Amino acid sequence: MSIETILILFGIGIAAGILSGLFGVGGGIVIVPSLLMVYAFNHFDSPYIVHIAIATSLFTIIFTSLSSSHKHFSHGNVEWKAALYIGIASAVTVFLFSKIAILLPGEILKKTFSVVLLVVAVKMLLDKKGRHEDPAKDKPEELNKWICLGIGALSGAIAAFSGLGGGVFVIPLMHYLMKVPIKRAIGTSSAAILITAVAGVLSYFINSPAGSVTIPYSFGMVDTLAALPVIAASIPFARVGVYINRKTHHYVLTKLFAVFIIVVSLKLIFF
């Protein structure tokens, strides 16, 4: 691996880490397309190249989400029961759907759920509720484990088909359905994504077709050599993202997250 490639991967890790800490997402929206560009730059081609990028993204998300969720927890922004329910449900669906995802063309995977994402983002962007609310006094409704399980099942499917951690759905659904303040929803998402990513990596490892990956030092469909620089950068910068999150007003953070989701969905639709 060349120095240029390592530096590019390190830069990908910085971006993914900040996004993880700031928005409670895994960073897959940066990692997956960036890995595809890195593979093209290095003239690596495979019918499973998109699947390799997704599996590698999920692998890096394990470490990024661990860093960000730990920092969010230190600020009291993790609903652990909700994270556990969401994480377990997502682990089941990501494990099941990853096997299906491997059988589907890469282009279908890229565009999965993008239209729904766009609708949710526009609603968040146009919603004026919360401009003058005090998030410290904003108590979420009593935990409904069935809603958590439903949110988790959906986020797991998203992770399997797109390489995203699922936070782009977990956060707005927790915010609207369970009345969880945006910062607490982001922290809880970071914790839940950890479980989702572990299950996704295991599924891609178990269901990897024989001989589908020829990259040295890979396991299953995970490109460990490409993952290491991303992980090394994303762990510390996830904590930077949490710091920015903590210093940003909750209303502004909601709008920033909505814009982020719009960018994500448009990218999945058109690129």
240: pLDDT confidence band, cut at 50, 70 and 90?
Answer: very high
95 pLDDT higher than 80 = no
| Residue whose token pair is 């595809």 | 36
Tokens of 208: 């990897």
Q: Which of 51-55, 81-85, 106-110 has the highest mean pLDDT?
A: 81-85
What pLDDT was estimated at residue 234?
92
Of the listed ranges 125-139, 148-162, 233-247, the least confidently predicted one is 125-139
The count of domains in the chain is 1
Q: Which of 64-73, 115-124, 142-151 has the lowest mean pLDDT?
A: 115-124
What is the pLDDT, as a whole number, of residue 132?
A: 43
Write the burial class of residue 255 (CB in 10 Å: 0-12 exposed, 13-18 middle, 19+ buried). middle
Report the alpha-carbon angle 52-228-1, nearest 5.
80
* Domain housing 111: 3-270
Read off the pTM: 0.78
Q: Over pLDDT 90: what percentage of the chain? A: 12
pLDDT digits (tens, 9 = 90+) for 3-44: 888 999 999 999 989 988 888 777 777 888 788 888 888 877
Residues 6 or more apart whose CB falls under 8 angstroms from that of 38 comprise 5, 8, 9, 12, 226
In this structure, which amino acid lies at residue 79? E
Chain centroid to Cα 99, Å, comes to 19
More confident residue, 88 or 134: 88
Averaged confidence pLDDT in the chain = 79
pLDDT tens sequence across 121-135: 777 677 666 544 445
DSSP single-letter state for residue 219? B
